[in-house]
Amino acid sequence: MIKAFKVLTPGAFTTVQDLGRFGYQRMGIPVSGALDRFACQVANMLVGNPPDAAVLEITVMGPRLEFLSETHIALAGAQMGMTLDDEPVSGWQSIHVGPDDVLDIHQVTSGCRAYLAINGGIDVPLVMGSRSTYVGGRMGGFKGRSLKIDDVLKSGDSIGLDTPRRLSREWIPAYPENIVLRAVPGPQDDFFREGLDTLFSSDYMVTARADRMGYRLQGPDISLLEHMPPSIISEPSMPGGVQVPADCQPIVLFVEQTVGGYTKIATVISPDLSRLAQAVPGDTVGFESVDLETAHRIYKEEAVRLDRITRLLSQ
Amino acid sequence: MTNGLFDTPRYRIAGDRGLLVEYGDRIDLAINRKVRSMAVLLDQSPPNGIIEVIPTYRSLLIVYDPAETVPETIQTGLETLEGRLADIEIPPPKTVEIPVCYGGEFGPDIGFVAKSHDLTEDTVIGIHSATEYPIYMIGFTPGFPFLGGLSEKLHTPRLESPRTHVPAGSVGIANNQTGIYPVASPGGWQLIGQTPLNLFDPARENPFLYDTGDRIRFIPISVETYRQMSEAEGH
């Protein structure tokens, strides 16, 4: 364990996350973890870490960090200007830092969340199998909360990184202000008919109420079939579930929710959640219906893409 | 179909990684027992590719890795397991006593609940603490138990406008349900009391005091006892 950095300013909302906490949803503990799993994994690969090492999830406005020892770091995900001791540095590549260096991550210019990986991973205690912060449960991550000024975080044992790593431009995602998310109808698609047409043919705007629990959207009302009740017996929910509450305005559930009593008209496929994680209030979201077979094909293609990136980076 | 239990389970697709299995269409102990029994069987012999199993009132969510398995295979596995339902024993329920200081600052809505039913606050306390409540499921926040069996005399709708902050340990009522908030969170239940116990502590060897299927009995305590126990719990 090495003292890695001290927080000079924490940014808008910066938490420690890995790929999530599994096995405890039945006890009311949500999966948590990085919202943009693609960027989180690539950030780790850029510094030689395993893809599930703990990173900082940085939301909208970045922190200012003073490094306490020599290491390698990388930022992936949303575009945020960045300086190291006042010299501009770029994302999607490994950066060598030394003790006393100050990294300043600015306001986002495209996207919403960036991931800062550090060689060896951020070292916080494993809580129920994960290092992810679940702020609502005051558990995991760094003291169960977002970072504050003067926090000192440690990193795990260093992992050899022979040459600098950089992701070539063709693999770097763009974060447009209009996105289309692919979604599989269900689990309660039989509660809707016109509502399904509405969802899959309309544009919805991301409201200010968009966080790790869910993204509330605003747009045409999604109507239930006449005889169907708006609420159901509370049941578990998956990240990506498109919940339709009594006001008929959809909410895409994210990673800090375990059960709910509203119908879910469709479920966004997991690879597309990384793209939703980069949407900010005011952006436009549409939905495209895909069947389960197609969803599984896309899921496997995504895994192949990540494998290729892993191989390219470790060459 | 008797008592809402389905003859054959109903399967629902919950995205590219989730399969929702419904065993009935209402809140009922027999349906809930079947859900929990299936969860126990799946824990004992987990089929290939299953990441997590989440039992609730009447349904089971199976989270799987699409690189390893598909819903059809999971369904076949579940059908095989159904044959073993009769052989398994789910852990015998334990009864957990939860001390509660009712009313006052600890239960700001007890007056409303009493008035809604033309009862005195003491009668509300008497009725609420006279039942052993089965835990149908745990969710919403870490360790939040959804309890069945609330006396009809106490059924009270949720608050019209939810509170942004409900203190940890608060005991509440929402329609025909009663439950406890183990961690502070927003919430819309009518608050009638508060327990000094830490119901969830991730640092403890067993972070939770109870599991789904257990029973909870509320024991009324005085403000003084609340303070003493609260101190002992490290508040």
Which pair of structure tokens corresponds to residue B31?
Answer: 């349906």
Helices (H), chain A: 37-46, 194-201, 270-276, 292-313
Name which of B18, B66, B185 is nearest A296 (Cβ-Cβ): B66
Which pair of structure tokens corresponds to residue A249?
Answer: 């305005």
Q: Within chain B, which residue ranges are assigned CATH 2.40.100.10?
A: 95-232
HEC secondary structure over B96-132: EEEEEEECHHHCCCHHHHHHHCCCCHHHHHHHHCCCE
Q: Which of 3.50.50.60, 3.40.50.300, 3.30.1360.40, 3.40.50.10860 would CATH assign to domain B5-86?
A: 3.30.1360.40
Chain A interface disruption, residue of B16, B19, B22, B211, most A CBs within 10 A: B16
Contact across the interface for B67 and A264, Cβ inside 8 Å? no
How large a percentage of chain B has pLDDT more than 90?
Answer: 83
Per-residue tens of pLDDT for chain A, all 315 residues: 789 999 999 999 999 999 999 999 999 999 999 999 999 999 999 999 999 999 999 999 999 999 999 999 999 999 999 999 999 999 999 999 999 999 999 999 999 999 999 999 999 999 999 999 999 999 999 999 999 999 999 999 999 888 999 999 999 999 999 999 999 999 999 999 999 999 999 999 999 999 999 999 999 999 999 888 878 899 999 999 999 988 999 999 999 988 988 899 999 999 999 999 999 999 999 999 999 999 999 999 999 999 999 999 987
Asked if A156 and A123 count as a contact pair (C-beta separation under 8 A), the reply is yes
Residues 224-283 of A with CB under 8 A from B: 233-238, 240-241, 258-259, 264, 267-270
Q: A129 to chain B: nearest residue by CA? A: B202
**The one-letter amino acid at A140:** G
Q: Which residues are B15's β-sheet partners?
A: none
* ipTM of the complex model: 0.95
- Domains in chain A, CATH or no CATH each: 2-171 (no CATH), 178-306 (2.40.100.10)
Residues 1-20 of A with CB under 8 A from B: none
Kindly state the DSSP code that residue B34 receives in the 8-state scheme. H
Name which of A188, A234, A298 is nearest B56 (Cβ-Cβ): A234
Alpha-carbon distance B13 to B55, whole Å? 16
User: Is A136 an 8 Å CB contact of chain B?
Assistant: yes
Contact across the interface for A139 and B54, Cβ inside 8 Å? no
Write down the mean pLDDT value for chain B.
94
The nearest CA of chain A is from the CA of B120 a distance in Å of: 32
Chain B interface disruption, residue of A22, A25, A188, A270, most B CBs within 10 A: A25
Task: Give the CA count within 13 Å in the CB-facing half-sphere of B47.
Answer: 24
The secondary element (H helix, E strand) that includes residue B42 is helix B29-44
For domain B95-232, is the CATH number 2.40.100.10?
Answer: yes
Name which of B26, B56, B142 is nearest A236 (Cβ-Cβ): B56
Among candidates B230, B233, B235, which has minimal Cα distance to B101? B230
| pTM of the entire predicted model | 0.94
